[in-house]
Amino acid sequence: MDFKVIFGILATILVTIEFLPYVRDIFRKKTQPHIYSWLVWTIIQGVGTLAMFRGGANFGALALAIGTLFCIIIFLLAFKYGTKNITKLDTVLLIAALITIVIWLIQKDPLWAVILIVIIDLTAFIPTYRKTYFEPYTETLISYIFSVLSNVFGIIAIAHYSFITTFYISTLVVTNILMVLIIIFRRRK
**Residue range 33-70, pLDDT digits in tens:** 999 999 999 988 887 787 777 777 676 678 889 999 99
Whole-model pTM: value is 0.86
Better-predicted residue by pLDDT, 146 or 54: 146
Give the chain's domain count: 1
Give 67-106 pLDDT, tens digit per residue. 999 999 999 999 999 998 889 988 998 898 888 888 877 8
% of the chain with per-residue pLDDT over 70:
98
Contacts 24+ apart (CB under 8 A), 92-97: 93/36, 93/123, 93/124, 93/126, 93/127, 94/36, 94/39, 94/40, 94/124, 94/127, 96/123, 97/40, 97/123, 97/124
Contacts 24+ apart (CB under 8 A), 52-56: 52/158, 52/165, 52/168, 52/169, 55/110, 55/160, 55/162, 55/164, 55/165, 56/159, 56/160, 56/162, 56/165
* pLDDT-wise least confident of 52-61, 126-135, 144-153: 52-61
Domain enclosing residue 114, as ranges: 3-188
What pLDDT sits at residue 39? Answer: 92
- The average pLDDT across 134-139 equals 96
**pLDDT band at 111; cut points 50, 70, 90:** confident
**pLDDT band at 4; cut points 50, 70, 90:** confident
How many Cα atoms are found within 13 Å in the side-chain-facing hemisphere of 104? 22
